[in-house]
Structure 1
């Protein structure tokens, strides 16, 4: 069980940092002191399901994002950062960014095909 506690703590740390939050800021969102957040991230605290739910809501993630069997790869971390960047954008803005991304990737693919 200690492995799962450590895994969740590491995931919380990564997600917190990706969102530009300090431990104190996350603590304010979940209504827990900074020292407790640090203990959770280090795998020293055995948190309740209720507390876990508060973390999920504060970090705006799905439960599965905390229960991955492995730490996220660098690629997954960057994909999460993109998700954070787009989260508060309008649907129209997201569609524009999507279409721009498709165009850029098409250009990359055409260049690599040569």
Structure 2
């Protein structure tokens, strides 16, 4: 077993568990066999690029996230950066008045999410 395959498999397992998915659920999302998902996670399979793409789509991440070898702790940062880029893309064609409205909405939403009412 190569360290490369173990790292990719570890990232798949971590992201799957973070989303509360079973191997069976990820298999359903990807169209791959549950046993294949397990062998990827254990680093036993030389995953093809097409299968890597299917797993990435099934987990809702980019393939490069699965190939991150800086350690599993940095996956949150990569995911956050991808989310920020997606938000930036959505907002890039908005006019100033629309951006001010969205900013005010997000500010109010942030206050609501931080309130005790929402958490209980």
TM-score interval (norm. to shorter): 0.5 to 0.7
Summarize deviations over 1:74-112 as a string: whole Å, max 9, x none: x7549859x99xxxxxx96xx6379627xx7xxxxxxxx
Q: Is residue 18–residue 80 contact of structure 1 (8 Å, CA) maintained in 2?
A: no
TM-score (norm 1): 0.65
Structure 1: unaligned runs, 5 residues or longer: 85-90, 105-114
Q: Is residue 68–residue 75 contact of structure 2 (8 Å, CA) maintained in 1?
A: no
- CA-based RMSD: 3.4
Distance (Å, rounded) in 2 between the aligned partners of 1:29 and 1:46 = 20
Ranked by relative contact order (alpha carbons within 8 Å, sequence separation 6 or more), the top structure is 1
Q: Is 1:52 matched with 2:42?
A: no
Count of residue correspondences? 93
Change over 3 Å in CA distance of 1:79–1:4 after alignment to 2: closer
Q: Is residue 65–residue 78 contact of structure 2 (8 Å, CA) maintained in 1?
A: no
Correspondence for 1:108: none
Structure of greater Rg? 2
Distance (Å, rounded) in 2 between the aligned partners of 1:46 and 1:96 = 44
